[in-house]
Structure 1
């Protein structure tokens, strides 16, 4: 059925070339009726009919109850009948009664791939003995009809392919333009109409120079065409190039063109896709300007950053004393046994707030000192006891939050370090791990000696950090959205201070998602002497 529909003849209005063959058949074999019949699922369609009576001639088809041709298709062989009324298979066919089909000679019509589509047949309304010459003539005419049907099929495929290609070209966002060897336009899609302002009807057959090439480039374009005609090669073929084009209103604009050259009948033809790159050029220019501005801003920011650090250091020093006074008076007032409970609760709030301010000022001072290049007094240090003390200290807070704190400490090397600062690193990382863990979670502290490095890993199963926020985790005042979303308080300075301390020890610190959720921080410090004692 696919092959049958591929001919395009089932719904064709006329088939002139096939009509010539059926008329020739009636003259050569002196038969009143000749048909080219294609057999569908439930009907036979006459794509050519000579001598057929009404109403069948106007209808152009019959049901299979009136078809002898169906047997040619099913048998895939010629069917030659002298008197259908005497044939056991055909005697009940309604074509005998309604179409007066008595004598019949039908021959298979094959598709190009060998499918039998129908028959070429001659019909008489009375019994007839078919001669050998008549059979050969009808076979030859059937072979010619097969050739005509193959041409219809090929033409249909060609038209379908052409329509498909035209649809692609009409819906593409790029302008598509084809030129012949003389530079005349032979194809012009809708995008070309939108880009250059000329409709396809206006553009076809006109020189491309009149439609899209600025006048000052006309001579160069013609010279290029002549070189290609002489040499048979184009330097631009297969290349992506940027050019200046013009539209119907003589507006010039930059385009990017990809062009291919082919040879047709020993002459070059050109096919090009083009699109407007005005916006891309504008963005490139803006980018250059922004880069220049950015370099200027970087210099300005460095100066501002230094001024800010100096200001932070001064302000932090000035804040220390007032905060200390506040905390001192708070403790003094809280020591009064006769103080009302309401006031005692207020003093607790003041004390907690002052403590957070003190911690903030300490962090700011630390950062200011580290930025100023303050040198640590490094001494040989056993990190094992520092880790044990830190775990012991934070285990109380972890227990209160129903978080399990685990430590796995291998034999460690002696490292160069400042004890108070490394204790600060441990406290910052452990307090964060516990604070951002949910009840039932686990914080695991692992310490080991690896390739002359001391490696400390602190992993939690807490709320985690969005992947896109990891690059900003050690920035000053940065806080992950998962923490702010849950209302967990913090200054966003702890990790910045921690990173500065680690780097001042010639170490590195990084963060990554944990294997069981949460976050894992990895600190690596240079080792000096291996320590063999069990910790």
Structure 2
């Protein structure tokens, strides 16, 4: 074969057109067999072929009269091909005597296939590619008539029609397969989306159960019940006890399927070296999940020491298993175990990821609950300390006040009038009184924080008189502030605990002075006001000092809280406003605050006008 002919035969576009038809190496088909048999009769020849010329061979879609072994093989190499020349020329190739034809006289088909006379019409597709021939062969030399060539042309057109019909059928089948594949993909995508949506819904419901209460001993059995219905045949949650044992959170979990799924040695014994290689122990040790979507006997043997005992259980053996750690950071809390029995649950990596997500949420819930319980214990401890401290310090303070009075009286009896002694006694009295008031506030805070109410000694008191007395007392030791009392009526009487109302005004006034370090006006205003169909007496303290940041306003009445803009040089315990708020609430009153950082603060106390209401 010349290089030019070889290049044309092996043209990639021609070969692609041939291969796309799907006829190479296909089975014998009756339609092509009828056409070749008809050709032998009409042309009176022993052999007719439907030959498809490939890159290095010719394949016979139909071959009538071809000798063995070629008839069974249904193909020859191109060394035995006359048809390749018809394909290359793209027109009929007619040979009367191959033995003397210059193009094919050396072709092996003359000897092996007994080809002497040959007439081949190229099979040309609608795309213009010559893919083979319909050829007639005789074993003797002969002259092909025009009528015979025309008949061969007509038969060739019928072969082409049959080929293209097969092509259209194949194309339809391919399109049908593609449609089926697209449909399967769409169904798979829909099923995947539905499963994903189902997982999200399950995760949301599980999260709702987990977050419904800090008492995880109550919520986790509910969660296990949900997962048993939605994700597995059975679910159990095992939590680590302080002595590093695993304990099921539900009673039925200790005796149900998972009591067998979790080996007895793991469920009931402390972890030690004997169980170091046990897969479920490894889940705890490595914080890596165990995912066995299809358990086999060998895996069961690795998981359980007594397979026979496992098979004797009144429940089916596990067929799939997911075990995920319940952990947060370096803290380990236990295991979440999901089991399927007697069936394939169809678990995937997404189901494992869902279980791991739920495991993490359980761990966060347990951590939050433990933190909350620890904070409650810390608050109880703090309140107990406050109660003890206030109780234990009151007695020494009372003794100090008593001896200060004795010292003053003794100095008077012996005729001492030394101003230094009197001033010292006054300082002792003042410090003792201040400490007594602070201890009183601590006692009230501790009592209220413990859930108890403070006992009020209520009588009819005049707020105007209290305000004048407190302001006068403060005027003696302030030099940069101007304290004034504004009142529209000479008397405002209410039913209240006088000592504690005095403490309210004292604390508010102390704060106004302390947090106005540059001095300025501080105004105490008293009035009667009707609000929300009720009569109120109002006590207002206004300053022009530091003010309170807006973000801190919601917390100013919390115990021990101090605003973020308070300089470290202004010391305090953060109890004054807490005491004010609690005393006002005990009097069935209210307190509001209006403040601008850098522009000052106004506190307004509302107390019921019991006399007017009566």
Give the TM-score category using the shorter length: 0.3 to 0.5
Structure whose CA Rg is larger = 2
What is the TM-score with the length of structure 2 in the denominator?
A: 0.37
What is the TM-score with the length of structure 1 in the denominator?
A: 0.42
> Whose relative contact order is higher, 1 or 2, with alpha carbons under 8 Å and at least 6 apart?
1
